[in-house]
Amino acid sequence: ETGVTQTPRHLVMGMTNKKSLKCEQHLGHNAMYWYKQSAKKPLELMFVYNFKEQTENNSVPSRFSPECPNSSHLFLHLHTLQPEDSALYLCASSLTLGGGREKLFFGSGTQLSVL
């Protein structure tokens, strides 16, 4: 248990569905991240939030919409996804964004399948 909880663990959705992924961290961290891991590809950074403010959008398509209502919660809203969006979506947090050797603490991920 890393202190970062993601729900659901698995999600199957059609291309016309709207769903949301949820992440909650209990570590008192101020920065939260969404990463994507596709099969046989490296982990890719999608979004970064620092003190609820988005500081990074790594050219992610608009069908992925993040939301960070507070420093402990992060959502990823999904709509009209494509089958190639099927991947493991990982949430992570860190105490701060930079100024040091900040380790990331990851959740267990949501395995998403788009049919």
The footprint of other proteins (CB under 8 A) covers 2, 4, 6, 9, 31, 40-45, 48, 56, 90, 92, 94, 97-99, 101-109
Q: Name the minimum Å distance from CB 1 to other proteins.
A: 9
Q: Name the minimum Å distance from CB 77 to other proteins.
A: 21
Tally of CB atoms within 10 A around 60: 17
Nearer to other proteins, 42 or 83 (CB): 42
- String of b and e for 10-49 (b: at least 16 CB within 10 Å)? ebebeeeeebebbbbbeeebbbbbbbbeeeeeeeeebbbb
Nearer to other proteins, 46 or 78 (CB): 46
Nearer to other proteins, 48 or 112 (CB): 48
Euclidean distance between CA atoms 83 and 3, whole angstroms: 31
Euclidean distance between CA atoms 88 and 40, whole angstroms: 11
Q: Which of 48, 71, 49 shows the shortest CA–CA distance to 58?
A: 48
Q: Name the minimum Å distance from CB 14 to other proteins.
A: 24
Nearer to other proteins, 9 or 18 (CB): 9
Q: Name the minimum Å distance from CB 90 to other proteins.
A: 6
